[in-house]
């Protein structure tokens, strides 16, 4: 998530040792947020991002992030970030920052009934799961090196073609210990937020991501940051499919910390096109 400065408000995002040909969407979300963070004062924290995946990005090439300073008000700042490869746009995000202030507090209560991973209960590693169910030609993409640790509580599979409508549950965190920097942890949270969001939209129809009869791709992504958190501690991620129609599916995701507080919400629309 460390960016190189190329010019004023222009940054270079390095590749993340990816062995596949497609850039993971979470990398674009995290690096674009990191670029925008570099252009706002330290008293402002991100509260929302609204992003579009314009075209597939080449994971073997660096990405240039150009930040446009749209507005700096007394309490809010807005930035537009355009991601480019070979001068072609691959991704665009509108990001808003807010000076934290006192206000009314409420969240829907939740009891986390599934304990975080331990050596005695490690759960299923997400990358191992994806590598086991993807077509052979896509398995190198699933086995790429990633800076996150994701454990699946349920399997994101549709057993014997049966519809799966219950929420998909995961524990996830960034590997290692991040420095004490709110911007770094928010970028880490953004990186996590694309995990599995494209896979779940086929489950209510009895299909999994491994089904070669469908093409699945991320179209857009929205994220709201409710409360400060640490991305290097276990976060409980609850995914739901909200709707599928006209070749598209909408999934939601909620991040909870270990105390059950809602720290972030995301929504993602994906293409789910039947091949042939």
Percentage helix, strand, coil for the chain under 3-state DSSP, each rounded to 5: 15, 40, 45
pLDDT interval class at 14 (50, 70, 90) = confident
Whether residue 111 is contained in a domain is answered as no
When comparing pLDDT for 144 and 252, which is higher? 252
Using CA atoms, how far apart are residues 73 and 56, in angstroms rounded to an integer? 34
Residues in the chain: 276
Helices and strands, number each (H, E), in the chain: 4, 13
pLDDT interval class at 121 (50, 70, 90) = confident
Whether residue 112 is contained in a domain is answered as no
Tell me the mean pLDDT in the region 34-63. Answer: 96
Whether residue 21 is contained in a domain is answered as yes
Whether residue 60 is contained in a domain is answered as yes
Query: In this predicted structure, what is the pLDDT of residue 70?
Result: 99
Tell me the mean pLDDT in the region 115-139. Answer: 66
CATH number at residue 268: 2.40.160.210
Using CA atoms, how far apart are residues 254 and 252, in angstroms rounded to an integer? 7
CB 78 within 8 A of CB 96: yes
Tell me the mean pLDDT in the region 179-208. Answer: 93
Using CA atoms, how far apart are residues 144 and 20, in angstroms rounded to an integer? 7
DSSP result, 102-163: ------------SPPP-SS---EEHHHHHHHHS-GGGHHHHTS--SEEEEESS----GGG--
CB 3 within 8 A of CB 31: yes
Tell me the mean pLDDT in the region 154-158. Answer: 70
Query: In this predicted structure, what is the pLDDT of residue 87?
Result: 94
For residue 119, pLDDT beyond 80: no
For residue 138, pLDDT beyond 70: no
Tell me the mean pLDDT in the region 118-123. Answer: 73
Whether residue 87 is contained in a domain is answered as yes
Q: Is 260 left (phi over 0), alpha (psi -120 to 50) or beta?
A: left
Give me the domain span that covers residue 77: 4-100+122-274
| Number of folded domains that form the chain | 1
Query: In this predicted structure, what is the pLDDT of residue 59?
Result: 87
For residue 62, pLDDT beyond 60: yes
Whether residue 108 is contained in a domain is answered as no
Query: In this predicted structure, what is the pLDDT of residue 43?
Result: 97
pLDDT interval class at 270 (50, 70, 90) = very high
**Three-class secondary structure of residue 37 per DSSP:** helix
pLDDT interval class at 163 (50, 70, 90) = very high
187 membership: H or E segment, kind and range: helix 182-192
38 burial via Cβ count (<10 Å: 0-12, 13-18, 19+): middle
Query: In this predicted structure, what is the pLDDT of residue 157?
Result: 67
Whether residue 107 is contained in a domain is answered as no
Whether residue 105 is contained in a domain is answered as no
pLDDT tens for residues 26-45? 999 999 999 999 999 999 99
């Amino acid at each position: 998530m460390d960016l190189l400065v190329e010019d004023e408000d222009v940054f270079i995002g390095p590749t993340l040792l990816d062995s596949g040909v497609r850039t993971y969407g979470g990398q674009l979300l995290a690096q674009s947020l990191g670029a925008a963070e570099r252009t706002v004062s330290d008293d402002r924290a991100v509260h929302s991002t609204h992003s579009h995946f314009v075209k597939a990005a080449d994971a073997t090439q660096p990405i240039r992030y150009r930040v446009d300073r749209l507005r700096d008000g007394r309490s809010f700042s807005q930035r537009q970030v355009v991601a480019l490869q070979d001068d072609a746009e691959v991704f665009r995000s509108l990001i808003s920052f807010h000076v934290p202030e006192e206000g009314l507090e409420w969240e829907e209560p939740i009891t986390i009934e599934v304990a975080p991973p331990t050596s005695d209960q490690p759960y299923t590693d997400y990358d191992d799961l994806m590598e086991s169910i993807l077509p052979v030609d896509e398995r190198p993409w699933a086995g790429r090196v990633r800076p996150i640790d994701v454990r699946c509580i349920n399997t994101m599979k549709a057993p014997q073609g049966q519809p799966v409508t219950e929420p998909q549950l995961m524990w996830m965190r960034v590997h290692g210990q991040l420095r004490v920097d709110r911007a770094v942890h928010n970028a880490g949270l953004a990186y996590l937020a694309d995990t599995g969001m494209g896979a779940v939209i086929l489950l209510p129809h009895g299909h999994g991501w491994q089904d070669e009869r469908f093409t699945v791709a991320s179209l857009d992504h929205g994220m709201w940051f409710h409360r400060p958190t640490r991305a290097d501690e276990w976060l409980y991620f609850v995914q739901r499919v909200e709707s599928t129609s006209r070749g598209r599916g909408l999934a939601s995701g909620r991040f909870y910390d270990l105390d059950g507080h809602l720290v972030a919400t995301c929504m993602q629309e994906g293409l789910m096109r039947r091949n042939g």
